[in-house]
Amino acid sequence: MAKIQKTKPNQTDRLLVIACGMIAREVLAVKEQLKLDHLELTCLPAEFHFYPDRIPPAMDKAIEKAKADGYEHIFVGYADCGTGGLLDRICEKHGVERMAGPHCFAFYQGMDAYAKIADDDMMSFYMTDFLCRQFDAFFMKPLGLDKHPELIKDYFGNYEKLVYIAQTDDPELDKVAEKAAKLLGLAYERRSTGYGDLTKELAEASSVA
């Protein structure tokens, strides 16, 4: 009896986005919004937000795996994100592009808009929809603030305001952001940004796939 040879699915016409887990929901929302049916998503752990040195080596391995799996069109769903240019070296090594900007807080607002307010926001603590949903898991418990609220001044004493960059209009997330600002002793500002440059860049990356 002849053996049935298993072959890998043809990925040459697909776009694989390798993104930060913190923006997974937003990438999928843009995919649906723009009907990018050929876009596929895989993510690195969201906790790398706190460990930027882990992003470049993990991305290197992820891209190598994607190419081995047959993907020819790959887009990196990260800005620099604290890697100090090391992520760019990985992108250059593999000939792939990444999101423009220093971090997601910038591309959510749009790079042009962010450039105008970056200096004024130097003392601002940013939150996004993801960080509102995960405020306890990403801040309260890891920093020990749930048991030692006196540490708030040590961690957040140099900030002046909390800026909630809202991707969606969700009253429950608004409440979390407002409560966080009060807890941290910061002034509060909400900016409705939507997905910012994420929409444009995913559309452009998809157009060449």
pLDDT tens by residue, 64-110: 999 999 999 999 999 999 999 999 999 999 999 999 999 999 999 99
92's tokens: 């250059």
Cβ atoms 75, 50 nearer than 8 A: no
The length of the chain is 209
Q: At 35, which CATH number? A: 3.40.50
Distance between CA atoms of residues 164 and 173, nearest Å:
9
Asked if pLDDT for residue 11 goes beyond 90, the answer is no
If asked whether residues 79 and 155 sit together in one domain, one would say no
pLDDT tens by residue, 160-202: 999 999 999 999 999 999 999 999 999 999 999 999 999 999 9
Does any domain span residue 183?
A: yes
Give the per-residue pLDDT at 173: 98
Does any domain span residue 9?
A: no
If asked whether residues 154 and 75 sit together in one domain, one would say no
Give the per-residue pLDDT at 199: 97
Distance between CA atoms of residues 23 and 28, nearest Å:
9
At CB < 8 A and 24+ separation, what contacts does 150-159 make?
Answer: 152/183, 152/184, 152/185, 153/185, 156/125, 156/184, 156/185, 156/186, 158/123, 159/123, 159/124, 159/125, 159/184, 159/186
If asked whether residues 28 and 130 sit together in one domain, one would say no
Cβ atoms 39, 69 nearer than 8 A: no
Range of the domain at 168: 111-192
Give the per-residue pLDDT at 1: 38
If asked whether residues 97 and 19 sit together in one domain, one would say yes
If asked whether residues 97 and 200 sit together in one domain, one would say yes
Q: How many domains does the chain have?
A: 2
pTM of the model: 0.90
